[in-house]
Amino acid sequence: AQSVAQPEDQVNVAEGNPLTVKCTYSVSGNPYLFWYVQYPNRGLQFLLKYITGDNLVKGSYGFEAEFNKSQTSFHLKKPSALVSDSALYFCAVSFGGGYNKLIFGAGTRLAVHP
Amino acid sequence: ETGVTQTPRHLVMGMTNKKSLKCEQHLGHNAMYWYKQSAKKPLELMFVYNFKEQTENNSVPSRFSPECPNSSHLFLHLHTLQPEDSALYLCASSQGLAGESDTQYFGPGTRLTVL
């Protein structure tokens, strides 16, 4: 069965420090992996996705994610965190049927402190 | 976010009311989705429409009734809801052509409270 795990409910980081939000997945076949961000009272905003090719994917707002097939992980990273990055982050995996069905992780709340 | 709009943004209804949520996408997409986001639970896919045809009903109770009159509009008709149906209802759309690698774009959601 397809599944996504975000092992941390919350991540705290100081402004200017690097941040990592973890995601692991379980899929049969080739994974298509996504990261979304949700600010308070807003919908989900697309950050980046991995389909194939280079394991390091660059996305919006300076975020990037590294696909690691052997560890079945797709961790989200940013070299220098901003207070405005504080939000809820969701990892998702897409699977079958000829169209895009997403399974989401439970979400990780990122808090960036000044 | 302006690519996918949802109305109303907030809705309070009684258990015997009938109401509808509306979603409109301005991205030229062919697939549209309804999700439910409850506190402390992962997003749950409810329905998928691809080229106006319903292709997924994720065991959703019949008190939720979707309607997709064209590729740009999606409705969720609500009747006889329960308090546990209170949640943020999110609409999304995608091109519908690239299959699993499509990117879904989300609206801002409707915050529903059932009294």
Do A90 and B96 make contact, defined as CB atoms within 8 angstroms? Answer: no
Contact call for residues A42 and A23 (beta carbons, < 8 A) = no
How close is the nearest chain B Cα to the Cα of A114, in Å?
27
For position A96, what pLDDT does the model report? 62
- Beta bridge partners, A4, equal A25
Nearest by CB to B105, which of A46, A95, A101?
Answer: A46
For position A97, what pLDDT does the model report? 58
Do B100 and A100 make contact, defined as CB atoms within 8 angstroms? Answer: yes
Ramachandran assignment for B7, one of left (phi > 0), alpha (psi -120 to 50 degrees), beta (any other)? beta
How big is chain B by its Cα radius of gyration, in Å?
13
Residue (of A17, A23, A8, A38) closest to A92 by Cα position: A23
d(CA B1, CA A102): 19
* DSSP 8-state symbol, B94: E
- Please state the rounded mean pLDDT for residues A54-59: 94
Quick check: B80 pLDDT over 70?
Answer: yes
Q: What type of residue sits at position B45? A: L
Chain A residues in contact with B94 (beta carbon < 8 A)? 99-100
Q: Is B5 in CB contact (< 8 Å) with chain A?
A: no
Contact call for residues A92 and A5 (beta carbons, < 8 A) = no
d(CA A90, CA B19): 30
- Please state the rounded mean pLDDT for residues B76-92: 95
Query: What are the pLDDT digits (tens) for A61-102?
Result: 999 999 999 999 999 999 999 999 999 999 999 876 556 788
Do A36 and B103 make contact, defined as CB atoms within 8 angstroms? Answer: no
Residue (of A52, A47, A43) closest to A62 by Cα position: A47
How close is the nearest chain B Cα to the Cα of A56, in Å?
17
Nearest by CB to B50, which of A36, A99, A104?
Answer: A99
For position B108, what pLDDT does the model report? 95
